[in-house]
Amino acid sequence: MVVKAFLLFLLTAIAEIVGCYLPYLWLKEGKSAWLLLPTVISLAAFVWLLTLHPTASGRVYAAYGGVYVITALFWLRWIDGARLSQWDWLGGALTLSGMAVIVVGSMSKAG
């Protein structure tokens, strides 16, 4: 169940990052305005993916934040080509740990 939630969060994060990155390319890098079409599709997918989580939206957003940070760090490394620092790794591990606590807690009978 935790793996399924993580994968759903990962897809959601990718959709959000792509939906923000494409307009960046258009506005800052002078790329084609046609990038706005996949931007709309990506951001619509992001919103739709958020609705697939079975728990309260605030909890989803809080847990999603941890996966978003990790995904953004990997994007930084592999798309932007930046080297990650020890602080990037530590911050990513802390946010991912927080996400795991929220997800596991929401799956318990008390949550």
Q: In the chain, which residues have pLDDT < 50?
A: 111
CB-CB neighbours of 35 under 10 Å = 16
Residue type, 78: W
Q: State pLDDT tens for residues 18-49.
A: 999 999 999 999 999 999 999 999 999 999 99
Alpha helices by DSSP H, 30-56? 36-50
- Of 105, 28, 29, the C-alpha closest to 60 is 105
Considering the entire predicted model, what is its pTM?
Answer: 0.80
